[in-house]
């Protein structure tokens, strides 16, 4: 039978740090030259979430999801992985293999990210680098750890979160502000069998449905 709960890799499923200063400087230097393009296409209806989505993002009310994207250079990707991989290996307690990364996503007012787990083959150990925001109030990341405990993590510019991305996570509070901008990087353990976890449920219609797995 496939497991209901994700694997325990790190001793604690999430850890927030200050982005290392030399890397932060490189990110901000490239960010200052970026142009963001709206993520286009029609918003599609996701039956499991019961909401319209574009680029994996929903919106509160009847508004279409507002999301934009700016790519980063290969040199900055390499710098991120070279700096962060040893730190993540120490935190996770195992060798990691680089798997996938995103440039900077920019979320607009009313954005919602539904509860989900990431891909079991590539997105196992991950990090969020918070680049910039213009927020009316902090926009929390909702994260459910190994024991089914809900954490609400907020960020300031220059902070990075290490997290096990097979743990359910979301941003269930509609974003209040002009924009919120993150980078995402992903790894998998070098010795990793994704088939063991292929049966993990990856989408949740509500927080209550997700927490019910832990009897909460």
> Among positive and negative, which fits the CA dihedral 137, 118, 23, 75?
negative
Q: What is the pLDDT of residue 2?
A: 60
DSSP state of 146: T
pLDDT at 45: 87
Whether 5 has a pLDDT exceeding 60, the answer reads yes
CA distance 96 to 122: 11
- Dihedral sign (CA 194, 101, 4, 191): positive
Distances (CA, A) of 174 to 9, 180, 195: 31, 12, 34
pLDDT tens digits for range 40-58: 778 888 888 888 888 888 8
> What pLDDT, on a 0 to 100 scale, did the predictor assign at position 77?
96
Q: Find the radius of gyration of the CA atoms of the chain.
A: 17
pLDDT, the chain, mean: 93
What pLDDT does residue 129 have? 98
Average pLDDT for 204-209: 92
More confident residue, 205 or 41: 205
Tell me: the pLDDT tens digits for 55-112?
A: 888 887 767 789 999 999 999 999 999 999 999 999 999 999 999 898 999 999 999 9
Pairing of strands 51-53, 125-135: unpaired
Write down the pLDDT at residue 144: 97
């Amino acid at each position: 039978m496939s497991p209901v709960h994700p694997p325990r890799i790190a001793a604690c499923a999430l850890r927030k740090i200050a982005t290392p200063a030399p890397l932060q400087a490189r990110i901000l230097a490239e960010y200052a030259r970026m142009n963001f393009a709206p993520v286009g296409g029609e918003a599609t209806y996701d039956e499991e979430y019961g909401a319209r989505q574009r680029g994996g993002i929903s919106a509160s009310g009847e508004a279409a999801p507002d999301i934009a994207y700016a790519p980063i250079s290969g040199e900055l990707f390499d710098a991120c992985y070279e700096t962060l991989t040893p730190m993540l290996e120490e935190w996770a307690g195992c060798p990691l293999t680089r798997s996938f990364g995103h440039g900077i996503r920019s979320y607009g007012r009313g954005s919602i990210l539904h509860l989900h787990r990431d891909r079991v083959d590539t997105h196992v150990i991950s990090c969020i680098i918070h680049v910039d925001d213009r927020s009316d109030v902090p926009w929390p990341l909702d994260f459910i750890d190994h024991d089914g405990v809900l954490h609400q993590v907020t960020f300031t510019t220059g902070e990075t979160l290490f997290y096990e991305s097979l743990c359910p996570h979301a941003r269930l509070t509609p974003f209040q502000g002009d924009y919120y901008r993150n980078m995402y990087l992903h790894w998998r353990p070098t010795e990793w069998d994704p088939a063991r976890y292929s049966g993990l449920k990856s989408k949740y219609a509500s927080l209550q449905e997700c927490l019910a797995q832990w009897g909460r």
